[in-house]
Chain A
Amino acid sequence: MSTIQMISEEEVIRSPSHRKAISNMKWRYLKQNLFLGVVRLSALIIAVSLGGFLFYIFVNGIGAISWDFLTLPPRDSMTKGGIMPAILGTFYLTTGAIIIALPLGVLSAVYLSEYAKQGPVVRIIRIGVNCLAGVPSIVFGLFGLGLFVVFLQFGSCILSGALTLGFLILPTIIGASEEALKAVPQTFREASLALGVSRWQTIFRIVLPNALPGILTGSILGVGRAAGETAPIMFTAAAFFTAKLPASIFDEVMALPYHIYVLATAGTHIEQTRPIQYGTALVLIALVLGIDLIAIIIRSYMRKKKGW
């Protein structure tokens, strides 16, 4: 029979195995603290780069902003004057893009969310949407040039640019719409179907209206994307300078992103037009991030408000 050996608490603390456990523990927590430090640092780097970038553009651009800058066309071979035609051009292109992408995207999302069953066809459609989302913007530019400008002979104009941008933001719209449709509770559909309402009427009367705010906020993000893109409109719509404002959708336009690019890289007045470049960059950033911010705020407000 073995005897139970009593040891005091002090002996435990002084024992080698206990000491080892303690030092091991310290090491483990040291590692943890190091890791937490690195992780926090990385988040800080991201926040600071965005903040620093925005601050820099704001400080350097705000001086150029005036009522005249926003409402007058450029003059003296673009070294003076305002950027109104570029603002207007971006507005036309973006509006056109959303008019094209919104119906296509929503209808596409309705199928994927309301009708589709898991299977190879749906799988291929999803891969298609993902791949379309990954197509580089310059390839969209080439595509727009090949199809709209050359093949369909629209020329470089608002219509070509808007179609190209519309196709570019289509995956964004589909994704946002699908998410919004999925967020509508299943019980809504069941209640409607139980009353004898047909499937498509349920979709049009119940599901879509309830998903609409979500679809719209998602689409606002698409608008922001379209407004900031340069490469897709370089060969399809954007002009260096237009003497007149566009009269129809078959006219070339100036656009904010392209305006920045041209002023910053081409021509003989690069240094001289720096203030205009900063000013235009500030206007574009304010426009795009303003649009994004509105969408983000509405979305978080809706998430909190919604009971279901």
Chain B
Amino acid sequence: MYLSSVMSRQLKEIVIKNIFFLFALVSIFILGLIIVFLFREGVPIFKVVSVKDFIFGNEWYPTYDPPDFGIWPLIVGSIIVTLFASLIAVPLGILSAIYISEIAPPLMKEILKPVIELLAGLPSVVLGFFGMVVIAPFLQETFDLPTGLNIVNVSILLAIMAVPTISSISEDALYSVPREFKEASYALGATKFETIVKVIVPAALSGISTAVMLGMARAIGETMVVLMVAGGAAAIPESIFDSVRPMPASIAAEMGEAPFRSDHYHALFAIGVVLFFMTLFFNLIADYISTKFKEVGTATL
């Protein structure tokens, strides 16, 4: 009797554990579903155009007759706005993280951390709207441009969206640098600046790199901002005041008018596949950096 009750109890334990395990797999399962359905709707385009011509083709005229399905200008558009956004967001994000983690008095910390969290929560459509009604006219008048919907405008807004990611993850990394490192540096007579730049930041570098990667992934995948303020020109830009049409903007703008299961529709899904794998790549690098170069704690010294 006793034995069987112990047995059934253990059995129950195992069953419940495995149920939880199944739920833990749900993220992987969804990720798999995303891949399956992107491919299912995207792959048919490659009966019409080769993978090489699709990715490196310079002409994106999906509604012409005959249509052109070359997404190179869209890829370039995505990369350019992401790089320019990073030029703003990376210094701003890391420096603000240093401020919060190392310099700010407790009260400023209490204020700034929620500020950054709220910034992360801003709906992108409202940022895009702001770009249209405020930044675009400003750029247009100041630089005497035909349109204010251009790379500069998008980059500023994407930077605002990437800063919270970069700042909060960098701050975690800086914060977890062992206290002893700082103390040893101060004891050797280093100034605060020297300690931060030569000791704390290098020790937190893997976390900071992860932060930058995730921030860039956020920028490259952001849709509403690029849809509303990038201007939408599907051509390789020549100046920072040119319009571009990053990948997410193309998908969002054209899906509504693409006839169901037409070549255009399949092509848009195929852009989704490219975009998905680009961000996946950024995320995997971020993950690799953060696990491979885990900060050395005192215990390992």
Contact B118 A50 (CB under 8 A): yes
Residues in B8-27 with C-beta less than 8 Å from chain A: 9, 12-13, 16-17, 19-21, 23-27
Contact A141 B252 (CB under 8 A): yes
A88 nearest CB across to chain B (Å): 17
- Per the CB 8 Å criterion, the residue count for chain A at the interface is 86
Q: Residue A209 at the B interface, CB < 8 A? A: no
Q: Which of B17, B31, B193, B280 contacts A31 (CB 8 A)?
A: B193
Q: In this assembly, does A151 line the interface, its C-beta being within 8 Å of a C-beta of chain B?
A: yes
B283, A130: Cβ atoms closer than 8 Å: yes
Determine whether the beta carbon of B96 is less than 8 Å from that of A42: yes
Beyond A116-B24, A134-B279, A145-B255, whether A260 also contacts B122 by CB under 8 A is: no
Which label, helix, strand, loop or mixed, suits the secondary structure of the A interface? helix
Judge whether A230 and B124 touch: CB under 8 Å: yes
Interface 9-residue window, one of A3-11, A75-83, A243-251, A287-295: A287-295
A242 to B202, CA, bound (A): 56
Tell me if A70 counts as interface (CB < 8 A to partner B). no
Bound Cα distance A112, B27 (Å): 12
* List of A residues within 8 angstroms of B38 by Cβ: 139, 142-143, 146
Q: Is the CB of A57 within 8 A of B126?
A: yes
Given the known A-B contacts A38-B95, A224-B121, A228-B125, are A132 and B27 also in contact in the complex, defined by CB atoms under 8 Å? Answer: yes
Answer whether residue B28 sits at the interface, using C-beta atoms and an 8 A cutoff: yes
Contact A107 B220 (CB under 8 A): no
Question: With the chains together, A139 CA to B269 CA distance in Å?
Answer: 9
Contact of B112 among A47, A104, A284 (CB under 8 A): A47
Name the A residues within 8 Å of B214 (CB-CB).
134
CA distance A261 to B133 in the complex (A): 12
Q: How far is the CA of A281 from the CA of B126 in the complex (A)?
A: 6
**Alpha-carbon gap, A286 to B9, bound state (A):** 51
Binds A, one of B47-55, B98-106, B234-242, B292-300: B98-106
Contacts A128-B27, A143-B34 given; does A230 touch B191 at CB 8 Å: no
Say whether B252 contacts A234, CB under 8 Å: yes
Assess the B122–A285 pair: CB atoms within 8 A.
yes
Decide if A174 touches B13 in the complex (CB within 8 Å). no
The answer on a CB contact under 8 Å between A43 and B100 is yes
A188 close to B (CB within 8 Å): no
Q: Would you call A228 and B41 a contact (CB within 8 A)?
A: no
User: Knowing A115-B21, A260-B125 touch, does A139 contact B272 (C-beta < 8 A)?
Assistant: yes
Report chain A residues within 8 Å CB of B222.
Answer: 136-137
B123 touches A230 (CB 8 A): yes
Question: In the complex the two chains form, is A125's CB within 8 Å of B27's CB?
Answer: yes
Contacts of A147 in B (CB 8 A): 33, 37
Interface members, chain B 49-105 (any A CB < 8 Å): 91-92, 95-96, 98-100, 103-104
> Which listed residue (B30, B114, B125, B197) contacts A257, Cβ 8 A?
B125
> Which chain B residues lie closer than 8 Å to A199 at the CB level?
13, 16-17
A134 to B196, CA, bound (A): 30
Interface string of A51-91 (1 = CB under 8 A from B): 00100110000000000000000000000000000000000
A305 at the interface (CB under 8 A from B): no
Contacts of B31 in A (CB 8 A): 128, 131-132, 135
Say yes or no: A108 contacts B119, CB within 8 Å.
no
- A28: which of B99, B194, B224 is its contact (CB, 8 Å)? B194
Q: Is B45 an interface residue (CB 8 A)?
A: no
- Asked if A32 and B118 make an inter-chain contact with CB atoms under 8 angstroms apart, the answer reads no
Q: Which residues of B contact A49 (CB under 8 A)?
A: 119, 160
Collect the chain B residues with CB atoms within 8 Å of residue A284's CB: 123, 125-126
CB contacts under 8 Å to B, within A189-235, are 198-200, 221, 224-225, 227-231, 234-235
Contact, CB under 8 Å: A111 / B23:
yes
The yes or no answer to B183 lying at the interface (CB within 8 A) is no
Contact of B115 among A31, A47, A129, A274 (CB under 8 A): A47
> Within 8 Å of chain A (Cβ to Cβ): is B192?
yes
B148 within 8 A of A: no
Instruction: Say yes or no: is A296 at the interface (Cβ < 8 Å to chain B).
Output: yes
Give bound CA distance, A136 to B251, whole Å.
12
Restricting to A232-289, which residues have a CB under 8 Å from any CB of B? 234-235, 257-258, 260-261, 264-265, 274, 277, 281, 284-285, 288-289
Inter-chain contacts of A150 with B (CB < 8 A): 41
Kindly name the residue among B24, B31, B124 whose own CB sees the greatest number of chain A CB atoms within 10 A.
B24
When the two chains form their complex, are residues A264 and B34 in contact, meaning their CB atoms are under 8 A apart? Answer: no
Residue of A nearest to B218 (CB): A134
Q: Which of B27, B91, B119, B255 has the most CB of A within 10 A?
A: B27
- Residue-wise, chain B 269-294 has the 8 Å CB interface mask toward A (1 for contact) of 10010011001101110110000000
* 19 A/B residue pairs, CB under 8 Å, sorted by A: A32-B194, A36-B193, A111-B24, A114-B20, A127-B284, A128-B27, A128-B28, A131-B287, A134-B280, A139-B221, A146-B37, A147-B33, A171-B27, A224-B121, A230-B124, A230-B223, A231-B252, A264-B129, A284-B123
Closest 4 CB pairs of A and B: A136-B221, A228-B123, A146-B37, A32-B193
Beyond contacts A46-B116, A46-B163, A138-B248: 9 other A-B pairs, Cβ-Cβ < 8 A, are A47-B111, A56-B134, A111-B17, A115-B21, A137-B222, A141-B255, A230-B124, A231-B248, A288-B121
